[in-house]
Copies of this chain bind each other. A is one copy, B any other.
Amino acid sequence: MKIGILGTGIVGQTLAGALAAKGHDVMIGTRDPQATMQRESASGASRAPFRDWHKNNPAVKLRTFAETARFGEAVINATSGSGAHGAVEGAGAEALGHKILLDLSNPLDFSKGFPPTLTVSNTDSLAEQLQRAFPRVRLVKTLNTTTAALMVNPAAVGDGDHTMFVAGNDAEAKAQVKGWLGEWFGWRDVIDLGDVTNARGMEMLLPIWTRLYGALGSPMFNFKIVR
């Protein structure tokens, strides 16, 4: 299927690579594709400049946010929290339409160092902000609670026996996303938390996630809801 991914960082790269390897037709969106391809240094947590990654993944197309949103049968917001509003605005209401938007971003503020705080939490969430700004899009919050390598390969720890969450206002979109998480990556335990306000709980997992990363010395862990 045609999948549009907003964001050229490590999350976007990891998802694009995994989905292209599965035979999907993948496009990555960025503000200025030419600038992204010319960039010499990696941004954020990316390990290499985008163009180096792209040499190894030539089937993945790089276009603008709007072209990518138009292209995708599903659109994935894989930007950092600080980039999320700009990316989805760049995609635009017209191109996004009534499509399913998987929102993976976290409103992390690293300006005071590590661990980060959240720029929005408790009484609101980044997912709700995006859903309010684009009321027609069918936003499903998911995959924000684990590291990129585990998003696309949960079996890499504990034989995949751990948990993912979804939250969003559209029941059909959530059921579709649950199916995709299984088909694309092998997620077996996906809990539907309810409407988009429940993204608060998912984004507020990041403060303990970042601390566990520090305590364990590795991002290769995930939450399992044992019941």
Structural contact, A226 and B118, CB atoms closer than 8 A: no
Check if A221 is an interface residue, CB within 8 A of chain B.
yes
**What separation, in Å, do the CA atoms of A218 and B207 have in the docked complex?**
25
The digit string for A157-199, where 1 denotes a CB below 8 A from any CB of B, is 1100110010000000000000000000000000111100010
Judged by a CB distance under 8 angstroms, whether A135 is at the interface is no
Bound state CA distance, A215 and B123, in angstroms? 19
Task: List 19 additional contacts besides A193-B214, A221-B226; criterion CB under 8 Å.
Answer: A115-B201, A118-B122, A121-B121, A158-B227, A162-B226, A191-B212, A192-B215, A194-B211, A201-B210, A204-B207, A204-B208, A205-B208, A216-B225, A218-B227, A220-B227, A222-B226, A223-B223, A224-B224, A224-B226
Enumerate chain A interface residues (CB-CB to B < 8 A).
115, 117-118, 121-123, 157-158, 161-162, 165, 191-194, 198, 200-202, 204-205, 207-212, 214-216, 218, 220-227
